[in-house]
C-alpha cells in the first residue's frame, strides 16, 4: 500500500540531481536522465509537469535545458511528490466532506485525515537542499 510509482521516484531523482548542481547552471535533460538512470523520454514528461507549475524553469532551443524554479531550500519533497503523483489521499473520504456518504457515522474517517496530515507534514519538512547535500 501507498507505494510511490516509478514516475514519482524518477521525478525525485531528477530534481534532486538538478538541486545538486551549481544553481543557474542550465542542465540538459539528456544529461540529467543519464545521471539518474531514467529513460529520457519519460523524464521529459515529468519535467514538463514541473515546468508548468514553476518547480523548474526551462529554456528551449540551442543552449537550452533546465534549472530549478526556486532555490533548493524553498522546494519541499511534498511539492515534488504531489506535482507528479497528485495529492496525498489515503482514502477518497478525505478529499472533501460529503464525499463519503457514510462520513457521519464513519469512525475510520478521522484516522485517514490523521494519516494524511502526518505524511504531508513529514514530506513538507524535507527540502531539496537537504536531499541534495552530500
Q: Using the rule CB under 8 A, which residue among 23, 26, 92, 99 binds its own copies?
A: 92
Q: How far is CA 27 from CA 16, 34, 67, in A?
A: 13, 12, 6
Q: Using the rule CB under 7 A, which residue among 23, 28, 111, 125 binds DNA?
A: 28
Q: Does 81 bind its own copies (CB under 8 A)?
A: yes
Q: Does 114 bind its own copies (CB under 8 A)?
A: yes
Three-class secondary structure of residue 19 per DSSP: helix
Taking the least distance from each CB to DNA, the nearer of 8 and 128 is 8
Q: Does 104 bind its own copies (CB under 8 A)?
A: no
* Dist. CA 11–CA 120, nearest whole Å: 18
**What does the angle CA 96 – CA 98 – CA 102 come to, to the nearest 5 degrees?**
120
Q: Does 94 bind DNA (CB under 7 A)?
A: no
Beta-strand ranges (E) seen in 25-92 are 56-59, 65-68
Binding site for DNA (CB under 7 A): 5-7, 10, 28-30, 39-42, 44-45, 47-48, 51-52, 58-66
Amino acid at each position: 500500500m501507498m507505494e510511490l510509482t516509478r514516475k514519482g521516484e524518477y521525478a525525485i531523482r531528477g530534481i534532486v540531481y538538478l538541486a545538486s548542481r551549481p544553481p543557474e547552471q542550465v542542465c540538459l535533460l539528456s544529461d540529467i536522465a543519464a545521471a539518474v538512470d531514467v529513460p529520457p523520454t519519460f523524464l521529459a514528461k515529468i519535467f514538463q509537469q514541473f515546468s508548468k507549475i514553476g518547480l523548474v524553469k526551462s529554456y528551449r532551443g540551442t543552449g537550452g535545458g533546465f534549472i530549478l524554479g526556486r532555490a533548493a531550500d524553498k522546494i519541499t519533497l511534498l511539492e515534488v511528490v504531489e506535482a507528479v503523483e497528485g495529492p496525498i489521499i489515503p482514502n477518497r473520504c478525505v478529499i472533501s466532506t460529503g464525499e463519503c456518504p457514510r462520513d457521519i457515522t464513519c469512525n475510520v474517517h478521522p484516522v485517514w485525515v490523521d494519516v494524511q496530515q502526518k505524511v504531508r507534514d513529514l514530506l513538507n519538512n524535507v527540502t531539496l537542499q537537504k536531499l541534495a547535500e552530500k
